[in-house]
Structure 1
Amino acid sequence: MALISLKGVYYTYLKDTPLEKEALTNVSLDIEQGERIGILGKTGSGKSTLIQLIGGLIYPVVGEIYIKGKEIKKWNSKELCKVVGIVFQYPEYQFFAETVFEEVAFGPRNVGVPEEKIEDCVRGALESVGLSYDELKDRSPFHLSGGEKRRLAIASILAMDPEVLILDEPTANLDPKGKFQIMNYIDKWISKNNKTLIVVSHDLDEIVRLVRRVIVLKAGSLVFEGLSEKLFMNYKKLEEADLDLPEIIKIVKILQEKGYPIEGAFTVQEIVERILAYKGYKSLWKC
């Protein structure tokens, strides 16, 4: 039994009105416990609609969604929050509490965590994203830097310890250092706690080191589903969905055109290893 299962899901905004818009069309998908999934697509492709459906914020017009074998409409919202945690794009715009502590504590309290355990939840969540509990707990969340705000927003979801963490464009508008830090902290938290990860993005370069399986949406339809390596080898699917090729694929294409036998290399290390072997040199990583 899959952790999350979508069966023939359709969703239409403003149905039966002149502004009716089909957002998802016949999407079927299974996600297993511990998987790392990347959902790719241009703006308007259906990415945000898909994660709202998985989080129980909206329901399919046609089709069914099951979470842990239970139809999603039968879940109590507080119980579902313990299973699926969503960090939406620009979550720092949704801050409301006066202190960092109260911001992070809201979620655990809302799902019934005993008060005597709240401090440990808050401390652990903040430390998971590289924020100091002692230094920040009494500060206003509105006075943090941009990168700190984003990490705080993620911590507020981690504090509920969800089985599935969904991130919607988690590095939007951050500088390269901020992007790397957030992805690194998420990677560590997922690995340490054996959680399921779903990352939504329009940029494969940002998520490629985090995910194992990729789903590509175009105009509400699923146009690709498979391992990230398979997508790299079939990069025409990215072009079909109007997505930019990852930088690593651009490098591979250029080197292949120059005659280097590096087909199937998808990381810098793999590319260097194959070039060294082609030239007759020893591996840099085995010296």
Structure 2
Amino acid sequence: MSTVLELKNATKRIDNGLNETKTILNHVNLKIAQGEFVTVLGGNGAGKSTLFNSIAGTVTLSEGDLLINDQNITAYSEEKRAKYVSRVFQDPKMGTAPRMTVAENLLLAMYRGKKRSLRLRRLNEERTLFTKICSEVGNGLENHLDTPTGNLSGGQRQALSLLMATLTKPDLLLLDEHTAALDPKTSKQLMQLTDQRIKEGDLTCLMITHRMEDALNYGNRLIVLQKGQIIKDLSKAEKEKLSLQDLLLFFEEEVEEITLD
């Protein structure tokens, strides 16, 4: 099975302004194979967001290398990495253009990572496709193709963000606590849609979550970050043997932070 993502000694240090240097990622080595759905757990300050930002290109590594499909993209800009990486954020407002309609947002997503040029939008030619994929969501999104995205509910907007991120198959999908801002019922629906899109598209995915149930129920691999390092890396078989209490025990002094989230 081919390796989609590889981090080699990925390290990120920052100057805290007091002549002290803090290490947020500490020589992380990680390989993600094609088709793996990896859930990522860790308390506050564990390095989860920095890991994702380093992969997406919004943060530059202080040391180490990052490869996608054996190609070293460490020096690539965030824009250049968009050809390979799609991301859904925790905030539903971050993944869509609020003044553009649902259909316009989806059309924009079709050209993610591709060279842009002046051309006709061909929006009407794609409406059948957009109606079909939106109807799979189950929240009435297909009835809002001409609605500005800013007028949607949080759940509809986050579902649209997921559709946009997976419309053209990315090499790597990053889900950055994408259900955290939603109520339990909407979160459950979005996770079911997420699992469906990943399985149908045979996508390779990293998902940060604070929901212990989702970490157990979804994905075929689990990694736990603590103080910028991977302290656990469990296969599907190992993960299936875990209980919620087992997960909490991984965090030791961070247990209280996790259970409050």
Moved more, 137-146 or 31-40: 137-146
Aligned in 2, Cα 1:93/1:87: closer, same or farther, shift over 3 Å?
Answer: closer
Aligned in 2, Cα 1:110/1:224: closer, same or farther, shift over 3 Å?
Answer: closer
Q: What does residue 252 of structure 2 align with? A: 240
C-alpha separation in 1, matches of 2:186 and 2:198:
18
Query: Cα distance, 1:11 vs. partner?
Result: 0.6
Moved more, 86-95 or 232-241: 232-241
RMSD: 3.1
Q: Equivalent residue of 1:82, what SS?
A: coil
Query: What are the residue-to-residue correspondences of 1:25-40 with 2, within 5 Å?
Result: 25-40=26-41
How many residues align structurally? 247
Q: Gaps spanning 5+ residues in structure 1: where?
A: 248-287
Query: Cα distance, 1:39 vs. partner?
Result: 0.6
C-alpha separation in 2, matches of 1:93 and 1:193:
23
Query: What are the residue-to-residue correspondences of 1:1-287 with 2, within 5 Å?
Result: 1-14=2-15, 18=19, 20-73=21-74, 75=76, 80-93=81-94, 95-98=96-99, 99-112=101-114, 115-116=121-122, 119=127, 122-123=130-131, 125-130=133-138, 132=140, 134-227=142-235, 230=238, 232=242, 235=247, 238-240=250-252, 242-243=254-255
1:226-254 deviation line (CA, Å, top 9, x unaligned): 1255352865752336247x99xxxxxxx
Query: Cα distance, 1:141 vs. partner?
Result: 1.5
Aligned in 2, Cα 1:95/1:36: closer, same or farther, shift over 3 Å?
Answer: closer
Higher helix share: 1
Q: Equivalent residue of 2:57, what SS?
A: coil
Q: Gaps spanning 5+ residues in structure 2: where?
A: none
**Structure 2 contact 169–203 (Cα < 8 Å) conserved:** no
Aligned in 2, Cα 1:236/1:129: closer, same or farther, shift over 3 Å?
Answer: closer
1:123-150 deviation line (CA, Å, top 9, x unaligned): 4553453355651111121222221122
C-alpha separation in 2, matches of 1:85 and 1:155:
11
- In structure 2, what residue type is equivalent to 1:106? L
1:75-98 deviation line (CA, Å, top 9, x unaligned): 575563232211111132554342
- In structure 2, what residue type is equivalent to 1:57? T
C-alpha separation in 2, matches of 1:49 and 1:118:
36
C-alpha separation in 2, matches of 1:49 and 1:93:
17
Moved more, 21-30 or 108-117: 108-117
C-alpha separation in 2, matches of 1:16 and 1:67:
33
C-alpha separation in 2, matches of 1:103 and 1:14:
38
- In structure 2, what residue type is equivalent to 1:242? E
Aligned in 2, Cα 1:235/1:156: closer, same or farther, shift over 3 Å?
Answer: closer
Q: How does the TM-score come out when normalised to structure 1?
A: 0.74
Q: How does the TM-score come out when normalised to structure 2?
A: 0.81
